[in-house]
Structure 1
Amino acid sequence: MAARPEGTPVWADAAFTDVEGAKTFYGEVLGWTFGEASSEYGNYTQAYKDGKAVAAVVPPMPGEGEPVSAWCLYFASDDVNATAQKITAAGGTVLMEPMAVGDFGSMALAQDPAGAVFGVWQGGTHEGFELEGKPGAFNWAEVFTRQPEKSDAFFAALFGYNAKKMQDEHVDFKVFDLGGEMPVLGRMRMTEEDFPPEIPSYVQIYFGVDDCDAAVAKAEKLGGRKVFGPMGSPFGRFAAIVDPQGAAFAVIDVNTTEGEMPEML
């Protein structure tokens, strides 16, 4: 697998108090199977789709206080220590200092100036997603932020993103790319009308599914909650969901598109 350019989404994981419950939920909704828990690394357990690694689940770390379930998106880094320094210089906060994870790679956790939490991953033997853009795998991600100017400036400084704005007077949405390559990340402004003030800025991860409506129905049957959707978009039918333990994510059809592609500035 070729190394991903710095700033490319490369991995996703989430901590759950009830790991077995999470495995049941995502196994049904996304078709995941799971490997053996790694006791050496806090019972970190990789999820697979068609035998390829797509994400991981793990129990909360001891001493973290009240556990909060949330998905974390990791961005590729050539040098996690240098990236941590860039995070601070750009106005972000390093929440977990760079650390090696055996020979798998090195990681850090951080927060942008608007409060969105994300991870950084410098791959070793574990380079990241083994499957993308397919049902059950990572397809897309967006930074939902209450302070778009700060988030835009931060990510541009950190990873050298170029930004293109959607030509829509009703939505403040941008797409980031790396020097004219394929888009790697979206950015959505959170409005008071659509997002209650208690919801902080966050990174929304989109997992692919064959049928958005069916995936939402399964999620609700298993105790999940639909936040919005399903609705059509130029990229496929999608919906936002909160799982039974409170972790937010989204699902999107990967086999259909609807309407015309939006124009970008």
Structure 2
Amino acid sequence: MAVRAEGTPCWADAMFPDLEAAKSFYGDVLGWTFGESAEEYGNYTQAYADGRAVAAVVPPMPGQEGPAAWCLYLASPDAAATAAKIRDNGGETLMDPMQVGEFGTMLLARDPAGVVFGVWQAGSHEGFEAHGVPGTFCWAEVFTREPGKSDAFFSAVFPYSMVKMEDEHVDFRLYNIGDETVMGRMRMGDDFPPEVPSHVNVYFTVADCDAAVAKATERGAVLRFGPMSMPFGRFAALTDPQGAAFSVIDVHTTEGEMPKMSPVS
């Protein structure tokens, strides 16, 4: 597998106070199986879809306890150089570049609007091993209360160009690398409770959105939005039983025409 272009989403993981409960929930909802916990790396545990690595779960380290949340990692050829660009453009590094054995180098950061994300410089672990099948990462959107700050930051740190949706009621943009769209950005409006911070929302592919929602809510998840069919698929937003937000999408069930987009100068 070729190393991904700089700024491309390449991995996702989440910290859960109850690791076994998280494994049981996502195993049921997304069909994941799990590898052995790596004790030397804080019991980091990879999740697999059809035998291919697609995400990871980990318990909090002492002193790092907090709400469960998914973290999206963006590819970088040089994590130290990316960390410098993050700081130079008004962001902050929450965890400075740290080598993870032979697997690669990671860092955690926050943009000026409060969006937390990761950066991954691949070593032997190049990231997602599968796409486009149930249980795999499909899409991500930056949800931000200060879109101007987030747009300026991400396009300065990574080689993104932007296009915007031609809809006066929705402030939505796509982040592109060349001709490839890698991520979306949505302005958070009044429909988001004030206690919900700016964040990155990750989408996982499912074969049937409604069935996945039914299974998730049966297992204690809270349905936040949907299911709803759009031109890109039928999706729903959920919060898992430990409070981590995520979305599921069936990309084969579509409805309507794709929205018109125009370049951002």
Q: Report the TM range for the smaller structure's normalisation.
A: over 0.9
Other-structure match for 2:225:
228
The Cα of 1:255 is off from its aligned counterpart by 2.1
Summarize deviations over 1:213-239 as a string: whole Å, max 9, x none. Answer: 110100000000000100111100000
Unaligned runs of at least 5 residues, structure 2: none
Other-structure match for 2:249:
252
Cα distance in 2 for partners of 1:261, 1:228 equals: 20
1:153 aligns with 2:152: yes
Mapping of residues 72-87 of structure 1, within 5 Å: 72-87=71-86
Equivalent residues of 1:77, 1:122 under 8 A apart: yes
Mapping of residues 183-202 of structure 1, within 5 Å: 183-192=181-190, 194-202=191-199
Cα distance in 2 for partners of 1:213, 1:252 equals: 9
Specify the SS of the correspondent of 2:230.
coil
Equivalent residues of 1:237, 1:252 under 8 A apart: yes
Summarize deviations over 1:142-177 as a string: whole Å, max 9, x none. Answer: 000000000000000010201000111111000010
Other-structure match for 1:38:
38
Other-structure match for 2:124:
125
Cα distance in 2 for partners of 1:50, 1:254 equals: 18
The Cα of 1:254 is off from its aligned counterpart by 2.3
Equivalent residues of 2:6, 2:159 under 8 A apart: no
Equivalent residues of 1:138, 1:205 under 8 A apart: yes
For 1:29, the aligned partner's letter is: V
CA RMSD of aligned residues (A): 0.7
1:19 aligns with 2:19: yes
Cα distance in 1 for partners of 2:148, 2:230 equals: 25
Aligned length: 262
Other-structure match for 1:214:
211
Specify the SS of the correspondent of 2:109.
strand
Equivalent residues of 2:229, 2:253 under 8 A apart: no
For 2:86, the aligned partner's letter is: I
Cα distance in 2 for partners of 1:191, 1:8 equals: 26
Unaligned runs of at least 5 residues, structure 1: none
Equivalent residues of 1:107, 1:120 under 8 A apart: yes
Cα distance in 1 for partners of 2:39, 2:32 equals: 21
For 1:148, the aligned partner's letter is: P
Instruction: Determine which of 240, 258, 261 is the counterpart of 2:258.
Output: 261
Other-structure match for 1:103:
102
Specify the SS of the correspondent of 2:167.
coil
Summarize deviations over 1:203-261 as a string: whole Å, max 9, x none. Answer: 00000001111101000000000001001111000000000000000000022222111
Cα distance in 1 for partners of 2:175, 2:110 equals: 18
For 1:21, the aligned partner's letter is: A
Cα distance in 1 for partners of 2:210, 2:95 equals: 37
Identity %: 68
For 2:229, the aligned partner's letter is: G
Equivalent residues of 1:135, 1:254 under 8 A apart: no
For 2:156, the aligned partner's letter is: A
Equivalent residues of 1:134, 1:254 under 8 A apart: no
For 1:208, the aligned partner's letter is: T
Cα distance in 2 for partners of 1:169, 1:28 equals: 40
Summarize deviations over 1:119-144 as a string: whole Å, max 9, x none. Answer: 00000000000012221100000000
Cα distance in 2 for partners of 1:41, 1:57 equals: 12
Cα distance in 2 for partners of 1:88, 1:133 equals: 34
Cα distance in 2 for partners of 1:128, 1:241 equals: 24
